[in-house]
Structure 1
Amino acid sequence: MANEYIGASVFYFNAEGIEEKFVKSVTGLGIKNNATTDVRGSGKSGKVIRQNTPGQVEHNNVTITLNYNGDNSIYDWYLKCSKDGESREWDSNRKAVSVIGYAQDRSTEVIRINLTNCFPVSYTAPEFDASNNDLVTEAIEVAIEGFKIERSTKSLST
């Protein structure tokens, strides 16, 4: 199984207590080190000396699009964190989120991406269109504090 390519459509999603959701896509996962430009000073003949240094690390928000089946657990998570006009309990409702990619045998875990301290920042409700043949979806965008990518060869059968 060494160096096996992973199919982008062979994955699983879970978010501490929100499981067995059929996920269409997970997008936006990324990290950026925002370099700063610092003027160190001015030298002979007025020459400005600059030095780029590492700045604050910024994690992208992640968007999770799910096929909607009447289960409101994603919407309810959003409301617990962001209901307008009420106490926003986003800190106590943060979740660890995992996206797990499988080998083509669909039973061997090849990669696991663990997102830490996630809370929803936006929710897109199901949309309906009589001329569309696609399944109805909902989407949630989550802010994350970090992520870790782990390589795994764990089999579901063990």
Structure 2
Amino acid sequence: MAGEYLVASVFYFEADGITDKFVISVAGLGAKNNATKGVRGSGKSGKVVRQNLPGQAEYNNVTITMNYDGDESLHNWYKACSKDGEPRQWDDNRKAVSVVGYTQDKSTEVIRYNLKNCFPESYTGPEFDVTKNDPTTEKVEVSIEGYEIISKKNDVAG
């Protein structure tokens, strides 16, 4: 429905073979264009000329928290990238990751974050605490090499 606000209960995680993960939160998505700083030269009069120019783009790590349902695919992905005592295999295990938001009735995609060339920098497994009523969660922090946000707001029938 047009103008409908999105809620976390209708966001899902996908990553090259890892699917059906219910997203609780996504944090950190963003980028920064680091400006160069310095003197470009001086003129006849000795006046120093400064000019900042765009430098290298830098992408933030993205932390995705999901409900834990007993599926070990996220933990296995982390382990495949970070086996102790062996050469790291993170480059061979990069994945395209998407977080996809749907309308409340879960029938229409509204927004998609496509994260490029990801590998997990950290994984936090479920915490078991009998004093809490919340579902158990797992969290993965992924390093990314770029992203795109695809809004389908105009595609949703109102």
Same fold at TM > 0.5: yes
The letter of the residue matching 2:60 is N
Q: Which position in structure 2 is the counterpart of 1:84?
A: 84
Q: Which position in structure 2 is the counterpart of 1:94?
A: 94
Q: Which position in structure 1 is the counterpart of 2:116?
A: 116
SS in 1 for 2:49: strand
The letter of the residue matching 1:6 is Y
Q: Which position in structure 1 is the counterpart of 2:33?
A: 33
SS in 1 for 2:106: coil
Q: 1:44 deviation in Å?
A: 5.7
SS in 2 for 1:142: strand
Distance 2:107 2:70 in 1: 28
Distance 1:87 1:131 in 2: 41
Percent of aligned pairs with the same residue? 66
CA-atom RMSD, angstroms? 2.0
1:23 lines up with 2:41 in the alignment: no
- Normalising by structure 1, report the TM-score: 0.87
SS in 1 for 2:5: coil
SS in 2 for 1:89: coil
Judged with a 3 Å threshold, the aligned counterparts in structure 2 of structure 1 residues 100 and 73 are, in CA distance, closer, same or farther, namely same
The letter of the residue matching 1:7 is L
Distance 1:8 1:30 in 2: 20
Moved more, 38-47 or 81-90: 38-47
Judged with a 3 Å threshold, the aligned counterparts in structure 2 of structure 1 residues 45 and 59 are, in CA distance, closer, same or farther, namely same
Moved more, 130-139 or 69-78: 130-139
Q: 1:119 deviation in Å?
A: 0.4
Question: For residues 78-123 of structure 1, what are the alpha-carbon distances to aligned partners after superposition, in whole Å with 9 as ceiling and x for unaligned?
Answer: 0000122112111111111111112334211111111111100111
Distance 1:18 1:55 in 2: 35
Q: Which runs of 5+ in 2 are unaligned?
A: none
Q: 1:26 deviation in Å?
A: 1.4
Q: How many residues align?
A: 154
Q: Which position in structure 2 is the counterpart of 1:128?
A: 128
SS in 1 for 2:133: coil
Q: Which runs of 5+ in 1 are unaligned?
A: none
Distance 2:140 2:52 in 1: 36
Q: Which position in structure 2 is the counterpart of 1:6?
A: 5
Distance 1:154 1:113 in 2: 17
Judged with a 3 Å threshold, the aligned counterparts in structure 2 of structure 1 residues 89 and 27 are, in CA distance, closer, same or farther, namely same
Runs of at least 4 residues off by over 6 Å: none
